[in-house]
């Protein structure tokens, strides 16, 4: 049975950019967060390429160039990485195509390609309504509708059931067509059917599933083609088979094939129109087939009415795209206007989450002060918000039962005392749906000549930013990954495992944020890479059973415009810090992990939060957030407690979508600061010179007194680190008052290449004042994918 939350449809509104006109017979594919739409018709066949950014809620028209194909409808449209292939379709009434075009979306460059014909037999004839499916380096063409007449005005339809294989070249271009010899009974001729390809995890045999279509009448048969043995079969299914249909969509997410909409039989309704109208109607029914168990499940039946407009209205000839575990549906036609006998096209965009989101990465620390944390975590695609929770060993006064009130939300209440502009208090998670994530690059635009620009940045709520540039002289681009860590005083001989490099008696200092860069991206000479760091401090990472090394990373964002080169950004990392044996000045109530009470910090739209308070639990409550769905309490009725200095807090975060709250991340632990220690050095730069590299930095923005010295460290290769790559071993390479040092080629030859994220050499730099050393800045100098010695 389907979970009720599966039917939590969302209608997207408040678009920006040039919204394409409504249509049907168009096709769409996804490249990361982008939905790319081409073709279709409504008062003429469309020839524009439209792109919708599902993160920024923006439409744009890329400036395409090259062999731009004519507009077409009911064509084949597949995506292989960042290239898209278009085959066939109707180019004008009665005239169909068998031409093949390739779009390199990284450059928005069209190219007409000419595959070799089959060694025996003819290439595919012009057609529309065929299926065109991609698996590996091959596309599979099946069926469609041809016009037997040479006169396009005299349409003589011929339904097809031929089957072709198109071999692709790697990256760009095609090899040619072939006609595989298949076994078993071939499906009957048809058009406007669907075909998807699925491969079970425990089986290496991919299978193509053909469902429905039109051959004078609508079909509801399911066919399976084993692509290894080329054997056709009709699998026996369980459950209720969807009504016969054509012009529907089929999308695979996980092991399920989702079928939505299409033309279905009228089932004898008495309409005051011509018999043509009585033969079929559009539907909004929605089912899925479990491809592992061959069982159909009905999510929305044809008999269910929707009086509240809470889901897409009936339609056919629409497009559907899966982005992550979310399904998007756009446009299509919903039937005929009886008076005008013309098609009515839908203009709406909907999406549906098909399962709860995965757990986010561990919470990472950007900045710690005496009474607040600035934290972040890696983004989870296609989510509507995040639930952040904390707990602590400190005793706190549970809220009285009067404070708990009703745990449901009765209206949006923006609390002026909440932590940061990212915090939201929705009455339901759907309040977050249409909010635009400001930290993603805007794809502005009407038809533009320049590709949309994606800039590297940390989150807008963070008080620090990153600046970077590519090294024009080589591919060893430098990126600074900032990690703050409490490091005690070191000596020149102090080399050891990460945890042994710490003075556990050192109290955690208050850190400050490094200076921000200008809004314009900094241009750097080919020998210099300049970055600006954010500040983290006092990180303790811990799961429920044991301490583990924390080495998370938010992967490099790839531009929404799909440029040929990647743009990287600075990320804040938290590092392992064992528990101090010192007892804080605050009383600590030691509790077992299983007895800790998790308190909500709040619901956040984006993946960053400024935490200075949390909400207290009502008496007798173990949790105030329902994990089974997205309901959250009315925070305005709960008491809050401030964070206190010198105290450890454990954090976890869960993502939220239309199906509810997903699993929580692993636990991270951070300590609030005690004033007096210096902040971390900032604005680290790395440049090459004849001796090796020149490493420089700026003094801490909050030195808390006079800086007595700086220390710089290099992660080095040891047998111990080979056994446990996450446990870095550092050697001090500099100690002095200057804010720069030379790292010689000999020292670099001994450097450890860290592969926990992208290959990099790791440095740490820290400052010391009268009280001692403050937190260190960790710098990752990216080395590309080669394992050669640096500087080669």
Question: Could you tell me what percent of the chain has a pLDDT over 70?
Answer: 67
pLDDT of residue 562: 28
Q: Find all residues with CB under 8 Å of 769, minimum gap 6, and list them.
A: 677, 678, 703, 704, 705, 706, 707, 708
**Most confident segment among 335-339, 509-513, 598-602:** 598-602
pLDDT in tens, 446-468: 333 333 332 322 232 322 332 22
End-of-domain residue from the set 327, 353, 379:
353
Q: Are residues 85 and 147 in the same domain?
A: yes
**Distances from the Cα of 207 to the Cα of 204, 233, 396, 713, angstroms:** 10, 11, 58, 54
Separation between Cα atoms, residue 206 and residue 225, nearest integer Å: 9
pLDDT of residue 672: 81
Element (H, E) at 745: helix 745-749
Residue 90 lies in a domain: yes
Q: Are residues 722 and 602 in the same domain?
A: no
pLDDT higher than threshold 60 for residue 524: no
Q: What's the start-to-end Cα distance of the chain, in Å?
A: 59
Cβ neighbours around 72 below 10 Å, total: 30
Residue 35 lies in a domain: yes
Separation between Cα atoms, residue 150 and residue 581, nearest integer Å: 88
Q: Which of 5-14, 351-360, 615-624 has the lowest mean pLDDT?
A: 615-624
Separation between Cα atoms, residue 607 and residue 39, nearest integer Å: 36
Q: Find all residues with CB under 8 Å of 474, minimum gap 6, and list them.
A: none
**Distances from the Cα of 53 to the Cα of 60, 377, 460, 479, 777, angstroms:** 8, 22, 19, 27, 35
| Phi (first) and psi of residue 593, to 5 degrees | -60, -40
Helix (H/G/I), strand (E/B), else coil: 724: coil
Q: Are residues 318 and 366 in the same domain?
A: no
**Distances from the Cα of 753 to the Cα of 127, 132, 749, 760, angstroms:** 55, 44, 10, 5
| Phi (first) and psi of residue 469, to 5 degrees | -155, 155
**Are residues 700 and 785 in contact, defined by beta-carbon separation less than 8 angstroms?**
no
pLDDT band at 471 (very low <50, low <70, confident <90, very high): very low
Q: 């607040």: which residue's tokens?
A: 372
| Phi (first) and psi of residue 4, to 5 degrees | -55, -35
pLDDT of residue 303: 77
How many independent structural domains does the chain possess? 3
| Phi (first) and psi of residue 75, to 5 degrees | -100, 175
Q: Are residues 731 and 611 in the same domain?
A: no
**Distances from the Cα of 147 to the Cα of 128, 129, 218, 546, 767, angstroms:** 9, 12, 19, 69, 78
pLDDT in tens, 22-54: 999 999 999 999 999 999 998 889 999 999 999
pLDDT in tens, 690-745: 889 999 999 987 788 899 999 999 999 887 655 665 577 899 999 999 999 999 99
End-of-domain residue from the set 353, 378, 406:
353
Cβ neighbours around 18 below 10 Å, total: 15
Name the token pair of 652: 């976890």
Q: Which residue has the higher pLDDT, 609 or 635?
A: 609
Q: Return the CATH number at 704.
A: 2.60.40.10
Which domain covers residue 126, as residue numbers? 17-268+277-353
Task: Annotate 67-78 with three-state secondary structure.
Answer: CCCCCCECCEEE
Q: Are residues 347 and 362 in the same domain?
A: no
Taking phi over 0 as left and psi of -120 to 50 as alpha, with beta for the rest, 261 belongs to left
Residue 482 lies in a domain: no
Q: Which residue has the higher pLDDT, 632 or 682?
A: 682
Query: CA 114, 115, 121, 123 torsion: positive or negative?
Result: negative
Burial (CB count <10 Å: 0-12, 13-18, 19+), residue 226 = middle
Q: Are residues 24 and 85 in the same domain?
A: yes
pLDDT of residue 310: 86
Task: Annotate 170-201 with three-state secondary structure.
Answer: CCCCEEEEECCCCECCCCCCCECCEEEEECCC
Q: Are residues 325 and 176 in the same domain?
A: yes
Q: Are residues 380 and 311 in the same domain?
A: no
End-of-domain residue from the set 303, 327, 353:
353
pLDDT in tens, 42-91: 888 999 999 999 999 999 999 999 999 999 999 999 999 999 999 999 99
Q: Which of 87-96, 227-236, 592-601 has the lowest mean pLDDT?
A: 592-601
Q: Which residue has the higher pLDDT, 24 or 153?
A: 24
Separation between Cα atoms, residue 773 and residue 510, nearest integer Å: 12
Name the token pair of 774: 């403050």
Residue 529 lies in a domain: no
Closest CA to 467 of 521, 422, 390: 521
The single-letter DSSP state of residue 368 is E
Residue count (the chain): 792
Residue 244 lies in a domain: yes
pLDDT of residue 520: 25
Residue 166 lies in a domain: yes
Name the token pair of 610: 């400024």
pLDDT of residue 372: 87
**Distances from the Cα of 426 to the Cα of 268, 381, 604, angstroms:** 46, 20, 10
Q: Are residues 29 and 66 in the same domain?
A: yes
Residue 789 lies in a domain: no
Q: Are residues 311 and 379 in the same domain?
A: no
Task: Annotate 498-549 with three-state secondary structure.
Answer: HHHHCCCCCCCECCCCCCCCCCCCCCCCCCEEECCCCCCCCEEEECCCCECC
pLDDT higher than threshold 80 for residue 194: yes
Q: Which residue has the higher pLDDT, 604 or 268?
A: 604
Residue 406 lies in a domain: no
**Distances from the Cα of 373 to the Cα of 37, 420, 655, 669, 725, angstroms:** 43, 11, 20, 11, 29
**Are residues 35 and 49 in contact, defined by beta-carbon separation less than 8 angstroms?**
no
Separation between Cα atoms, residue 28 and residue 35, nearest integer Å: 7
pLDDT band at 390 (very low <50, low <70, confident <90, very high): very high
Separation between Cα atoms, residue 470 and residue 522, nearest integer Å: 11
Distance from CA of residue 259 to its chain's centroid? Answer: 24
Burial string for 499-510 (b: 16+ CB within 10 Å, else e) reads: eebbeeebbbbb
Separation between Cα atoms, residue 477 and residue 469, nearest integer Å: 8
**Are residues 767 and 490 in contact, defined by beta-carbon separation less than 8 angstroms?**
no
What's the CA dihedral at 591, 593, 595, 599 to 10 degrees?
100
**Are residues 673 and 510 in contact, defined by beta-carbon separation less than 8 angstroms?**
yes
Separation between Cα atoms, residue 253 and residue 359, nearest integer Å: 18
Q: Are residues 258 and 374 in the same domain?
A: no
Separation between Cα atoms, residue 7 and residue 288, nearest integer Å: 12
- Give the residue ranges of DSSP H helices in 394-494: 401-404
pLDDT higher than threshold 90 for residue 537: no
**Are residues 775 and 487 in contact, defined by beta-carbon separation less than 8 angstroms?**
yes
Name the token pair of 591: 């509790």
According to DSSP, the β-strands at 65-66 and 109-113 are parallel
pLDDT in tens, 158-184: 999 999 999 999 999 999 999 999 999
pLDDT band at 791 (very low <50, low <70, confident <90, very high): low
Q: 């299409």: which residue's tokens?
A: 262
pLDDT in tens, 741-786: 999 999 999 999 987 667 889 899 989 999 888 878 878 898 875 5
pLDDT of residue 631: 57
**Are residues 281 and 249 in contact, defined by beta-carbon separation less than 8 angstroms?**
no
pLDDT of residue 789: 53
Task: Annotate 388-418 with three-state secondary structure.
Answer: EEEEECCCCCCECHHHHCCCCCCCCCCCCCC
pLDDT in tens, 242-260: 999 999 999 999 999 999 9
Separation between Cα atoms, residue 543 and residue 546, nearest integer Å: 6
Q: Are residues 144 and 216 in the same domain?
A: yes
Q: Which residue has the higher pLDDT, 584 or 757?
A: 757
Q: Return the CATH number at 307.
A: 2.120.10.80
Cβ neighbours around 543 below 10 Å, total: 12
Mean pLDDT of 383-400: 77
| Phi (first) and psi of residue 37, to 5 degrees | -120, 140
């Amino acid at each position: 049975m389907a979970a009720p939350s599966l039917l939590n449809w969302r209608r997207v509104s408040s678009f920006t950019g040039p919204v394409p006109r409504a249509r049907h017979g168009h096709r769409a594919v996804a490249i990361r967060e982008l939905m790319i739409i081409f073709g279709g018709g409504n008062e003429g066949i469309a020839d524009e390429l439209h792109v919708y950014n599902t993160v920024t809620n923006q439409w744009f028209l890329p400036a395409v160039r090259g062999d731009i194909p004519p507009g077409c409808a009911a064509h084949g449209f597949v995506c292989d990485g960042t290239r898209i292939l278009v085959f066939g379709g109707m180019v004008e009434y009665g005239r169909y195509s068998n031409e093949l075009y390739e779009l390199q979306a990284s450059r928005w460059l069209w190219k007409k390609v000419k595959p070799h014909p089959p060694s025996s037999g003819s290439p595919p004839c012009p057609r529309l309504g065929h299926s065109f499916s991609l698996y590996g380096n091959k596309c599979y063409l099946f069926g469609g509708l041809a016009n037997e007449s040479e006169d396009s005005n005299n349409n003589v339809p011929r339904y097809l059931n031929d089957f072709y294989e198109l071999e692709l070249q790697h990256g760009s271009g095609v090899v040619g067509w072939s006609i595989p010899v298949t076994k078993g009974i071939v499906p009957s001729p048809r058009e406007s059917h669907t075909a998807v390809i699925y491969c079970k995890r425990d089986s290496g045999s991919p299978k193509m599933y053909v469902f429905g279509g039109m051959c004078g009448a609508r079909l509801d048969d399911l066919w399976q083609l084993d692509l290894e043995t080329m054997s056709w079969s009709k699998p026996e299914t369980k459950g209720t088979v969807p009504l016969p249909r054509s012009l529907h969509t089929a999308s695979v997410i996980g092991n399920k094939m989702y079928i939505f909409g299409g033309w279905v039989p009228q089932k004898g309704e008495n309409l005051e129109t011509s018999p043509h109208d009585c033969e079929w109607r559009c539907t909004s029914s929605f089912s899925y087939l479990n491809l592992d168990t061959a069982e159909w499940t009905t999510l929305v039946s044809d008999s269910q009415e929707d009086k509240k407009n809470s889901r897409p209205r009936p339609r056919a000839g629409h497009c559907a795209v899966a982005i992550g575990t979310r399904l998007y549906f756009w446009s299509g036609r919903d039937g005929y206007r009886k008076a005008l006998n013309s098609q009515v096209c839908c203009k709406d965009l909907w999406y549906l989450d098909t399962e709860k989101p995965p757990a986010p990465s561990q919470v990472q620390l950007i900045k710690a002060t005496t009474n607040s944390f600035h934290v972040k975590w890696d983004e989870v695609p296609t989510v509507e918000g995040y639930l952040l929770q904390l707990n602590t060993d400190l005793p706190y006064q549970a809220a009285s039962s009067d404070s708990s009130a009703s745990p449901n939300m009765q209206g949006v209440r923006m609390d002026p005392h909440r932590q940061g502009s990212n915090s939201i208090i929705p009455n339901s998670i759907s309040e977050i749906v249409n909010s635009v994530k400001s930290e993603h690059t805007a794809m502005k635009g009407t038809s533009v000549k320049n590709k949309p620009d994606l800039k590297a940045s940390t989150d807008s709520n963070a008080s620090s930013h990153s600046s970077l540039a590519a090294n024009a002289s080589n591919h060893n681009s430098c990126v600074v990954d900032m990690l703050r860590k409490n490091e005690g005083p070191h000596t020149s001989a102090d080399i050891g495992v990460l945890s042994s490099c710490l003075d556990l008696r050192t109290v955690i200092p208050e850190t400050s944020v490094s200076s921000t860069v200008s809004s314009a991206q900094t241009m750097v000479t080919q020998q210099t890479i300049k970055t600006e760091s954010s500040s983290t401090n006092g990180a303790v990472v811990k799961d429920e059973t044991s301490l583990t090394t924390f080495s998370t990373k938010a992967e490099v964002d790839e531009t929404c415009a799909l440029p040929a080169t990647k743009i990287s950004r600075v990320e804040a990392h938290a590092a392992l810090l064992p528990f101090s044996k010192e007892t804080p000045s605050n009383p600590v109530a030691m509790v077992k992990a299983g007895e800790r009470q998790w308190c909500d910090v709040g619901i956040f739209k984006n993946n960053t939060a400024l935490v200075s308070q949390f909400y207290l639990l009502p008496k007798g409550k173990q949790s105030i957030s329902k994990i089974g769905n997205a309901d959250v309490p009315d925070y305005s009725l709960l008491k809050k407690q401030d964070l206190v200095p010198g105290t450890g807090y454990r954090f976890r975060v869960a993502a939220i979508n239309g199906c509810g709250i997903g699993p929580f991340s692993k636990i991270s632990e951070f300590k609030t600061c005690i004033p007096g220690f210096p902040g971390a050095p900032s604005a680290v730069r790395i440049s090459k010179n004849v001796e090796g590299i020149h490493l420089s930095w700026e003094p801490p923005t909050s030195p808390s007194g006079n800086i007595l010295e700086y220390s710089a460290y290099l992660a080095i290769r040891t047998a111990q680190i080979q056994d446990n790559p996450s446990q870095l071993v550092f050697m001090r390479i500099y100690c002095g008052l200057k804010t720069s040092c030379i790292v010689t080629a000999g020292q670099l030859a001994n450097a450890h290449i860290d592969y926990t994220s992208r290959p990099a050499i790791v440095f740490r730099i820290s400052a010391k004042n009268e009280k001692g050393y403050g937190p260190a800045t960790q710098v990752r100098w990216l080395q590309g994918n080669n394992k050669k010695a640096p500087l080669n």
